[in-house]
Copies of this chain bind each other. A is one copy, B any other.
């Protein structure tokens, strides 16, 4: 029995609120149950120096948490003078995943930065961030099309993410904090709408896991992501 009473394959209620803040080209509040992340996509008509003159664009991401998004207050990274290893790892993952959805040559010498800021955390902040970031990115690209900054849509596919894991011996989908903090295995899966894998990261927190367990988790992830992509699509059409 999961602490939330959900079935093993059941994802939390997911809501995606577009146009959440006023200034960004794409701005989304994504909620996976009690996990809430603001994702904004910002367009810049130039690229980082190392890409200048190469005829392609760039998509990058940054991740942060408000100090009291969690049960006890964490030190503000701006005050401690650097982003921690976990933060860097997550923002690298978000950026890599988003780039898998974009044809950077079609984007041209322009850059899109997606900021994912967690305002409330209850497990799965990185998968919620990726899911929301994809919608914010889509909106920003739409704005670029309307402004004439793009002649052709650079999106090759759409992506979404979900966490899966083994909790008390059973594979489950979309772990919340209560599950995540005591799961034997925790795995984040990012897939595209064709059901192919963009990234998979699985860690044995307690017990090492078998290939069969991996397969069971992957199967749950596939179904969960398909459902999440439908929710993304519905939000974009609303």
Closest to A87 in B: B78
Across the interface, which residues of B come within 8 angstroms of A8, CB to CB? none
**Which of B40, B71, B76, B203 contacts A115 (CB under 8 A)?**
B76
In the complex, which residues 135-154 of chain A have their Cβ closer than 8 Å to any Cβ of chain B?
Answer: none
How far, in whole Å, are A165 and B192 apart by their CA atoms in the complex? 19
Asked whether A218 lies within 8 Å of B208 as measured between CB atoms, the reply is: no
Closest to A25 in B: B68
> Which of A34, A83, A87, A197 counts the most B-chain CB atoms under 10 A from its CB?
A197
Segment from A88-96, A125-133, A230-238 that makes contact with B? A88-96
Asked whether A68 lies within 8 Å of B42 as measured between CB atoms, the reply is: yes
Q: How many chain-A residues does the 8 Å CB contact rule pick out?
A: 67
Closest to A64 in B: B78
A66 at interface by CB-CB < 8 Å: yes
Across the interface, which residues of B come within 8 angstroms of A82, CB to CB? 78, 81-82
Closest to A219 in B: B211
In the complex, which residues 189-238 of chain A have their Cβ closer than 8 Å to any Cβ of chain B?
Answer: 191-192, 194, 196-204, 207-211, 214-215, 218, 222
Q: List 24 A-B contacts (CB under 8 A).
A: A21-B36, A22-B122, A23-B70, A27-B68, A38-B119, A40-B67, A42-B68, A62-B67, A62-B76, A66-B117, A76-B115, A82-B82, A89-B92, A96-B203, A117-B119, A187-B200, A196-B207, A196-B210, A197-B209, A197-B214, A198-B204, A200-B200, A200-B214, A211-B215
A contacts, CB < 8 Å to B: 21-24, 27, 34, 36, 38, 40, 42, 44, 62, 64, 66-73, 76-79, 81-89, 91-92, 96, 100, 113, 115, 117, 119-120, 122, 157, 187, 191-192, 194, 196-204, 207-211, 214-215, 218, 222
